Structure 1
């Protein structure tokens, strides 16, 4: 009998696993992300929080699914779980798995190992599958020369404006300002761009780090010599900024501000961790603060953020502060996850376009504002993502080359 992992998890929580099923579950949870899901479902507080995130619960769908699972149990050999779950816990965990934030993994008997696999049998609609994105970027030098970073070898790539540009062992690049190197070229600018399906990490000349999401660009000087450290961002980037003393002799203790220019928004910090989402196809530029403090300026409106807050800068110049931002959702891309929280189909497909380098078209009367919930790893093939979304019953898809058609 083939087993779906959601069935095995429910049986684990209820203490009804057979010995054969326990072996399958143990192999599946060998992957860190799978172990994490199982630990989360064993945590009552986490289950309650996930239930709160689920929008409209389809009670009939849940009842039919659970009835089917329990009806199929045939006098199993019972094994003692470490912590049997109470009735409410089991029911709540079931709803989380089937309707909202579950991982929706299946066990592949033919693969011989624990792995995420397709949610359904082979389907011609998904025969032209697309693999997920990865570490991809191009570096544009001051003289117009371009270096493809994902295929470049490790070590010294070039020297720009007195800084050595080095590709590190972890696949990112680092700008090193060496003592006595001089700066005969003066300050020059470099640009790192990620394509659709790409992401990349840059260690800037001051020791600050920037991670770029797909379809993003960061332009920066190869040395921060002025009284401000200014970089220009399009797309999305996560920054960990190092404090840097000002060179002004009269303000020895002053810190040199780090400013991210994103469209008509300036984000000014001294030393902090924050994320900026500034895609041109989104209506709002979002700055989310994890640590430290930032000042966000949108036209003539200014906002000061504390950790856990988010500034939403609208194109027409207004600024709104969200006091309790969803940090998990904001940082999901950086942590290798799609985190959908009442996300409209239209917004979900924009994320898919960037990460899988696809075009999306809509056929029929698709409710583009239909909201969905769930956490899905970004390392799955496109077909898996689409089948997970189809499991909600709200939308259907077809892959043709690099084009995905969304259907009701």
Structure 2
């Protein structure tokens, strides 16, 4: 029976009764383990002596909430044997080592599946087994740079990369879906399988439409003028910024009606569907910059949305953490962490109405459950 780590009560969620061994470290593996734990899985975090290198980061408390922690040294025979024995009772194994590393530590898929053919094994390396980069360290910035996940900023040719761990996050999300599919397949066949979700590969669905190229025609850039003028951030009279989304021609009238300039609608709409010369684009850009300085950010948000457009005040993280939307929808919740005390964390974002998940408890201290787990 799966129980919560804090109260000992029976866990809730669609994955109740599923046992997961999480050998992950840093972000992708632990985040996948968290997603499974939030849906009721019993996730055992297996850490090396000294612990997950990410333990010194505050976000560790989120990525590893609801898990139990044990310490095993996979570099000695006793530690490997204990890990292998635990794997015989597991439904899922997670790791995010470089390819072949897990096998050298005695916890590769073939080694563990030999005594547990129903095992579902999810590996999240930086680069996959078939990649020429498979032996390289797949750190988040490296994967982002290799996949071109950056954008050009006006006035500079220097690429601006995302500050968020997009590769690790998308790999964890794809991993969660893959594990669920493999569990369904095992229910039908009785056999587990190996899953590989490289961070590098996970970035390509994240890139989306910016990746598309047609072999026989030049791909239209949706961010060319005048779309870029209509869909961008503008500073307002109170010094705050708004994100206005006028990417498509149908939004033009909504925005310009709210702005009090319906006489511009026909002229702006006429520019859509064709490339605009730089002088014309700059003229509209300066015109809109001056226009947005006539009202506060909140006034623009209210006016444009009232006309059916799309505009919002650019919020800070601190503002979002206390925003009524985030709080009332339980997108942000409070967790009493053993190290950090009461802290805000993302809530359970996947809402299954029939089998709702829940945060099963705080992140464990290093080795907190070693004796408990080994005695089971």
With structure 1 as the length reference, what TM-score do the two structures score?
0.26
Q: Quick check: which one's strand share is greater?
A: 1
Q: Which has the higher contact order (CA 8 A, sep 6+)?
A: 2
Q: Quick check: which one's helix share is greater?
A: 2
With structure 2 as the length reference, what TM-score do the two structures score?
0.27
